[in-house]
A and B are shown apart, each in its own frame.
Chain A
Amino acid sequence: MDTIPLIHLQLLSAFLFVAGLATVLLRRNLFFVLMGVELMLNAANLSFLAWSRVQSGASTMEGQVSPLFSIAIAAAEACVGLAMLLAVFRSRESLDTDAYSRMKE
Chain B
Amino acid sequence: MGFAMIAQVYFWIFAAIAAACALGVMLSRHPINGAMSLIGTMVSLAGIFSLIASPFMATLQVLVYAGAVMMLVVFVIMVLNCAKDHSTPLFDGAGLFGVLPAAALGALLVRVFVGLDKQATVAMNPQAPRGDVDAISKTLFGAGQHTGGWALLFLAVGILLLTAIVGAVLLAKRHLDSPSEPATIEGGH
Contacts and interface: CB of A to CB of B under 8 A. Distances in A.
Interface in B76-112: 76-77, 79-80, 83, 85, 87-88, 90-91, 95, 97-99, 101-103, 105-106, 109-110
A94 B122 CA distance: 47
A85 B76 contact: yes
Given A78-B73, A83-B167, A89-B80, A1 B123 contact: yes
A48 to B, nearest CB: 9
Contact of B113 (A11, A18, A23): A11
A2 interface: yes
Contact of B174 (A17, A23, A39, A90): A90
A5 B25 contact: no
Interface of B: 3-8, 11, 15, 18-19, 22-23, 25-26, 31, 34-35, 38, 41-42, 45, 48-49, 51-54, 56-57, 60-61, 64-65, 68-69, 72-73, 76-77, 79-80, 83, 85, 87-88, 90-91, 95, 97-99, 101-103, 105-106, 109-110, 113-114, 116-118, 120-125, 129, 131, 135-136, 138-140, 145, 150, 153, 157, 160-161, 163-165, 167-169, 171-172, 174
Nearest to A60: B129
A80 B57 contact: no
B97 to A, nearest CB: 7
Contact of B49 (A15, A49, A72, A90): A49
A4 B7 contact: yes
A61 B168 contact: no
B130 to A, nearest CB: 9
A31 B77 contact: yes
Interface string A81-93: 0111111011000
Interface in A39-98: 39, 42, 45-46, 49-50, 52-54, 58, 60-62, 64-65, 67-69, 71-80, 82-87, 89-90, 95-96, 98
A18 B105 CA distance: 7
